[in-house]
Every structure is written in structure tokens, then in C-alpha cells.
Amino acid sequence: MQTKSLTTEFTEGNIPVQLTRFMLPFMASNALQILYSVVDMIIVGQYVGSAGLTAVSQGSIYINFVAMLALGFFSAGQIIAAQLLGAGRKDKLPEFEGSFLCISTIIAVLLTVVAGLLQDPVLTMLKLPGESMQMGIAYVKICIWGVLFVCGYNAVTALMKGMGDSRHPLLFIIVAAIVNLGLDIWFVGILGMGSAGAAAATVIGQAASFFAAVIFFFTHREGYYCTITWRMFRIRRDDLDKILALGIPMSIMAAGINITMIFVNRFVNSLDMVAASATFGAGIKLDDISNKIGLGVQMAATPMIGQNFGAGKYDRIKKIVYWTWGFSAVVAGIFVAVYLTCGREMFALFTDDPQVLDLSHTFIIASLWTFPSMTLMKGGNSLMNGIGNSKLIMLLSFLDSFLRVAASYFFGFTLGMGFFGFVLGYSIAPFGVAVPGTIYFFSGKWKRRSRYLD
């Protein structure tokens, strides 16, 4: 009974009902995760001003980039767990889980060390204007320590999500959000610790979600087919090969957007206007909210596709992709309406700087193209991730990164469109990846892909 209450098999049943129930916790969880940095930015922007807002928004870009490097490996673990469950190979899950958690621990430690060594060169490359530079350095130096907790949380919950449990990871994020919000008000608003206080609140919140996830997972380990033995916790060559084969391309894809963000931020910062940098930072954070919430549909569809791919049920996979596009379009339409009717008020949450508020309309108009492009992309991405097509993921990730930087440069510098051009190029570039992904789906070639056990 316990197993049934914690995991869900998606190889049978009503697809839209299953996808709705599975995606809602993902969407809520993503919204709460992005709430970390949004709360940081709102409180710092109100108490410290535009310089602090710029420091937190652009310091977050580096931290997110590091987290995205690890996310691909955790996504690989989720996909493999889903395929094992779909193929009825529950007997292999304990060994895989132990191997995956060992590999994830090594990745978390290595990323934390490397991120700490590279923080100063990266922030220097970003060219934060004025006093924002010192604030950004203070913010990043503290946030680096949260990488361990972020990696740990994502590793444990990847196994849960792959086996159809999206409800409990949401509860752990709620814990983190409450801790983060309370400490943000205390550290920044009352104690006046500025960007460093916001960073400390974020790290403590991340630690809370990590420990909550670990305690729950191992307390209810039978429900996830997990056994605690010394034999379980060792790295098996077959598991390592599969995780690296899937994880490396997915990490490149996940980190690609953040890599390009560094370049586009540099383009914006070259205008040498604190208001432009602050507007871009706040706008990207608002876009991140809409994208992450919409990403909840893709994140739910991926393990559903993985389970059905493991079971060889290709007709169900096609229906899942269609429903992914449908739900993603609805979510995008809602956010477009909110942007067009309440855009200025949304930017006002971050700052009352009149220059930033005036530029907010420019950002909104230029960024509207991101909604149709990202909607189309989610269907193809859910398919490629679910079946584990690492080579195509790698190819499209490079293409995505190139197009985002090239289009931003072309519209911003070459055509002389400045701030509007930087945002416009960044927003329309995903079409270059979404279209090939869609063609791949309709071609049917994905049906010939090998599964994890093949």
C-alpha cells in the first residue's frame, strides 16, 4: 500500500487527467523555487535600491548557471528511473538509486569547489555597473555554499519525480520558501545586511528543503523501492555510463541559457546604465517565473514519456506530447495577458525607480515573442528528454546558445536597436530550436531509440 501511495505508473489511464494532476505540483514547486530569488530582489530593491537589485539579479545568473550544470545529471537520473519503472524492472531500482546518489554527491562537491574558484572572473566579465559590483561579489560568495544543498535536493527529488511523485517535492519547497521569506525580511529589512543578507536567507532556505527531502526519502524508502545497505551505495559502471551519456548533453542544454544570459547581460551592461541593467534583471526574473511555471508541464510530461517509452507504448507518447503543447499554450496565454495588462505594476514590485519603470514597457514588448517560441519548444523537449536522445539534445543545446547570443548581438548592435534589440533577439532565438524538435517528433524516428535496459 505504501508503494502505491508514493509512486504512480503512467502507462495506463486518462492522459490529460494524469498530466494535470502530475504537472500542478511541478508548476507550484517551480513557482516557489523562483520565489527565492524574486523575494531577494524585491526586498533588496526596496531597501537597498537599484544598485542592490542589479547585484542580486546578475549574481543570481552565475549561481543559476552552476545549478543548471548539475540539473542535467539529475534529469538523467529521473529519466532512467522512469524507464525502469515503466519497463517493470523495479528489481533494478535499488541498485540504480544508490549508484545515482553517489554520483550526485561527487558532482555537487566538484561544482561547489569550481564555482567558488571562478566567481570573481565571471563577475568581472559581467561588468556590473557602479557599486553593484561589490554587492554582487558579497551575494555570490555566500550563495556558492547553497550549491551543495540545491544539488542534494534535486538528486533526491529526481528519483521521486521519475517514479511519479511530484507532491512531496512541492512540500519541501514550501518549507524552503517560508524559511527564505522570513529570513529575508529579518536579515535585509530589519538587520540591514543588504545583498549578503538576501544570500544568507536563500542558502538557509535551500538547506531546509534539502534536509526535509533526505529525511522523507529515507524514512519512506520502501515506497520508492529503496533499500539501505552498503552494497547499494556504490557506483556501478553501467549506471555511470548511462548517467553521463544522458547527463552531459542535458547539463549543456540546461546551462546553455544561463551561459547566453551572461553574454546578453554583458551587452546590456555595455550601455553603462544602471536603470537598463536593473530593468533587464527584473524583466528576466519575471520571464523566469512564467517560463518555470510553464516548464512544469514539460517536467511532468518527461517522466510520463519515459515510463511509456520503457513500456514501448508509442501511441500514448504521441498523445502526451500533444497535451503538453495544449497545456503549455494555455499557460503562455495567461502570462501574455498579465504582461500586457499589469506589466508596469509587476516591475514596480522590484523598485520605484522611474527610469526602470519607463523601460519596463520596452522590455515587455520585446519579450512577448518568447511565449510562442517556448511553448513550441516544450513539446519537443519533453519527448527528447523522456526517451533520452542525448545526441540531439547536445546538438540543439549548442544551436540554442549560439542563436540567443547571435540574435541579441545582431538586433542590439548591428541594427542599432540597443536595449530593445538585446531583449528581442534573446526572445525569438528559441524558434531555431523549437522547429527542429517539432520536426523530429512528427518524423517518428524517435521510436527507434534504444531504452535504458536495451
Q: Give the pLDDT of residue 37.
A: 66
Write down the pLDDT at residue 228.
66
How far apart (Å, rounded) are the C-alpha atoms in residues 338 and 311?
40
Contacts of 389 (CB under 8 A, 6+ apart): 446, 449
Distance CA 261, CA 64 (A): 10
Would you list the DSSP string of 400-443? HHHHHHHHHHIIIIIS--HHHHHHHHHHHTTHHHHHHHHHHHHH
| Rg of the chain taking only CA atoms, in angstroms | 21
Residues 275-301 as b/e (b if ≥16 CB within 10 A, e otherwise) read: bbbbbbbbbbbbbbbbbbbbbbbbbbb
- Check: pTM over 0.85? Answer yes or no: no
CA separation for the pair 37, 34 (Å, rounded): 6
How far apart are alpha carbons 315 and 419 in whole angstroms? 45
pLDDT at residue 2 in the model: 40
* Other CB atoms within 10 Å distance of the CB of residue 413: 15
pLDDT of residue 231: 66
Check: CB of residue 260 under 8 Å from CB of residue 405. yes
HSE-CB for 225 with a 13 A CA cutoff? 23
Predicted confidence pLDDT, tens digits, the chain (454 residues): 344 447 788 999 999 999 999 999 989 888 877 776 677 677 777 776 766 667 776 777 778 778 878 888 888 899 888 888 888 888 888 888 888 999 999 999 998 898 888 877 777 766 666 667 777 777 888 888 888 999 999 999 999 998 888 889 989 989 988 898 888 888 887 887 877 888 888 899 999 999 999 999 988 888 888 776 666 778 888 888 888 888 887 787 767 766 787 788 789 888 877 788 888 878 887 887 888 888 899 999 999 999 999 899 999 999 999 999 999 999 999 999 999 999 999 888 877 888 889 999 999 999 998 899 999 999 999 999 899 887 787 788 788 888 989 999 999 999 999 999 999 998 998 898 899 999 999 999 999 887 765 5
* pLDDT value at residue 129: 63
Residue 5 carries which side chain, given as an amino acid letter? Answer: S
